[in-house]
Amino acid sequence: MTTPSVSDIKEVREITRMERIGAHSHIRGLGIDDSLEPRQVSQGMVGQKKARRAAGLILEMIKEGKIAGRAVLIAGQPGTGKTAIAMGMAQALGQDTPFTSIAGSEIFSLEMSKTEALTQAFRRSIGIRIKEETEIIEGEVVEIQIDRPASGTGAKVGKLTLKTTEMETVYDLGQKMIESLTQEKVQAGDIITIDKATGRITRLGRSFTRARDYDAMGPQTKFVQCPEGELQKRKEVVHTVTLHEIDVINSRTQGFLALFSGDTGEIKSEVRDQINAKVAEWREEGKAEIVPGVLFIDEVHMLDIECFSFLNRALESDMAPVFIMATNRGITRIRGTNYQSPHGIPIDLLDRLLIISTTPYEENEIRQILKIRCEEEDVEMSDEALTVLTKIGKETSLRYSIQLITTANLASKKRKGTEVSIDDIKRVYTLFLDEARSSEFLKEYEQNFLFSEITPTAAGTEKMTVDS
C-alpha cells in the first residue's frame, strides 16, 4: 500500500492577480461606524459626511430587505463623489446582495428596446436565495491508495479510506476523483467533504489528532475535529442567483450560454411571468427567499421621457430593487421633450425620490483624497508637491489633480527621482491643460479651429451643449 508522496502532487503555481487601478479602486466602503456616523477618512472615503450618512441609512434599508422600489437620487456638481458613494455602497453590501451598475447612456446602445434593457437591469438587481439539500460524504482521510496500471498508460484506479469517530469505509476511486484529490492536495489526516452529486472535493482542514505529527506545517494550517456519526450526511446549501439569470436560463431561444456571452437578446414576457409564478411558489414552500438588491443608474439625465415613465411604473412592483441614480445636471431639458426640469428628471419621478446632495470639497479634503490616490497608485510625493497639487485641485478640479498624480510620477521617474517634487508637478501642469485653460486657449485661437462659428450662431446664442 502506498500513500501518495509529495512528488506525486502537482505543483500548482500561485497566480498573482494584477489589480488594475481604476478611478474608484481606492473606495472600500462608505467609511461609517455602527451608529451610522461617517468617519472623516475611512475605507478610502473622505469628507462629504452628510451624503455618506444619508447613504448609510439607505444601506440599512437595503440590508433589511423589506422595502421594495425605493428610489434615491444623488445630485451634485461634477467630481463631488457621487459615483464614488455609489461604489462605496456596493462594496459595503458585500457579495450576496446584487448590485447592478449601468450608465444612463448604456441602454441606448444595446440591441434591444430601452424598456427591455431597463427590465433586464431591474431583474439583475433582484437576488433569489435558493435552499437545497444535498448529500455529502464527510470524514477524515485514513489512506489514499492509487494503483498505476502496469503498462504505464491507461486510467488510474484507487481506493480512499475515510473515517468518522464511529465508522470507517473504503471507497473506490475513479480517474476523475483521483485527479480532484491530487488537485486539492488531499493527504492522510485531512478532513474532507465530497459532494455526492457533483463529486466535488473540499478540504476542511487537518485532523486534530495529526497536530503533533508534522512540524513542517504552514502557520495557516487549520485544524478541525474528526467528524462524528455517519459518513454520509445531508447538508443544506444556499445559492443566490438573480432573477435575470433565471430568465436567461429558462428562455428557450437563448439558453444559459448567453450568460457568458452577454448576448441575451429580448426575453419574452411569458417567460418572465412563468418565472415570477415559480418563484412565488418556491417562496410559499420556503425553498426560496428574495434578496432585493440595488440598481444604480449613473448619469441618469441621459435617460429619456419613455424610460422615466417606465421607471415610475416599475418602481411600484413588489419585486423592485432599491433604485439609486446620480446626476450632475441642474435645470435642464428632459430628453425626448422640450420641457425643462430639475436634473432633467420629470417632476412626477422626482416626487418619488429621496434626494442626497453632494457639495464641493474643502482644500484639506482634496489633500486627503489626493494622498489616498497617491497610496493607491504607489506614488511617493513630497509634502510640498502635495500642497501644490492640492492648490491646483482647488483652483481647477479634483479630477484634473488626480490625473496629474500619474503623469507627475512618470516625469519624476524619467529624471530618476525618488519622489514626485514640485518641479514634476509644474512640468505636467504646463504640459496638460485643465478645462479652464483649454477653453481660454480655444477662445484665443478660435479662428484657427474647424467649425469655429459655433459660438455666435445666427439662431440665438446656443452654446455647445453636451447632450443632444
Footprint on this chain of Mg ion (rule: CB under 5 A): 83
Among 44, 189, 321, 393, binds ligand ATP (CB under 6 A): 44
Separation between Cα atoms, residue 296 and residue 101, nearest integer Å: 5
Residue 138 or 365 with smaller CB distance to ligand ATP: 365
Amino acid, single-letter form, for residue 338: N
CB-based closest residue to ligand ATP: 81
Task: Give the Cβ contact number of residue 231 at 10 Å.
Answer: 19
253 burial via Cβ count (<10 Å: 0-12, 13-18, 19+): exposed
Give the pairing of strands 126-147 and 288-292.
antiparallel
DSSP codes joined into one string, 312-374: HHHTTSTT--EEEEEE---EEEPBTSS-EEETT--HHHHTTEEEEEE-PPPHHHHHHHHHHHH
Partner touching 301 among ligand ATP, Mg ion, none, CB below 5 to 8 Å by kind: none
Determine which residue in the list 4, 38, 47, 139 makes contact with ligand ATP, applying CB under 6 A: 47
At its nearest, how many Å lie between Mg ion and the CB of residue 81? Answer: 8
Nearer to ligand ATP by Cβ, of 159 and 399: the residue is 399
* 336 interacts with ligand ATP by CB under 6 A: no
Among ligand ATP, Mg ion, none, residue 127 binds (CB under 5-8 Å by kind): none
Please pick, from the candidates 4, 69, 81, 346, the single residue that binds ligand ATP as defined by CB under 6 A: 81
Q: How many CA atoms lie within 13 A of 81 on its CB side?
A: 27
d(CA 190, CA 172): 18
Question: What is the helix (H) or strand (E) element at residue 192, kind and residue range?
Answer: strand 190-195
**207 part of the interface to ligand ATP, by CB under 6 A:** no
Partner from Mg ion, ligand ATP, none contacting 248, C-beta within 5 to 8 A by type: none
Strand spans (E) along 39-156: 41-42, 45-46, 71-76, 99-103, 126-147
Size of the site for ligand ATP (CB under 6 A): 21
Confirm or reject binding of residue 80 to ligand ATP (CB under 6 A).
yes
Among residues 47 and 293, whose Cβ is nearest to ligand ATP?
47
Q: Using the rule CB under 6 A, which residue among 141, 181, 294, 369 binds ligand ATP?
A: 369
3-state secondary structure of 248: helix
The greatest distance separating any two alpha carbons of the chain, rounded to the nearest whole angstrom, comes to 95
Residue 53: CB minimum distance to ligand ATP, A: 13
Site for ligand ATP in 394-413 (CB under 6 A): 398-399, 402
Please identify which residue in the block is written with the cell numbers 479634483: 398
Contacting range for ligand ATP; rule: CB under 6 A; set: 60-68, 72-80, 114-122, 344-352: 72-80
Q: Which helix (H) or strand (E) holds 169?
A: strand 168-173
Q: Does 24 bind ligand ATP (CB under 6 A)?
A: yes
Looking at 41-49, 103-111, 122-130, 138-146, which segment touches ligand ATP (CB under 6 A)? 41-49
Q: According to CB under 6 A, which one of 29, 32, 38, 48 is a site residue for ligand ATP? A: 48
Find the shortest distance in angstroms from Cβ 19 to ligand ATP. 16
Query: Any contact of residue 46 with ligand ATP (CB under 6 A)?
Result: yes
Cβ neighbors of 399 (< 8 A, separation 6 or more) are 78, 79
Q: Cα-flanking dihedrals φ and ψ of residue 396, to 5°? A: -100, -100
Residue 49 as a binder of ligand ATP (CB under 6 A): the answer is: no
- Contact set with ligand ATP (CB under 6 A): 23-24, 27, 44-48, 76, 78-84, 328, 369, 398-399, 402
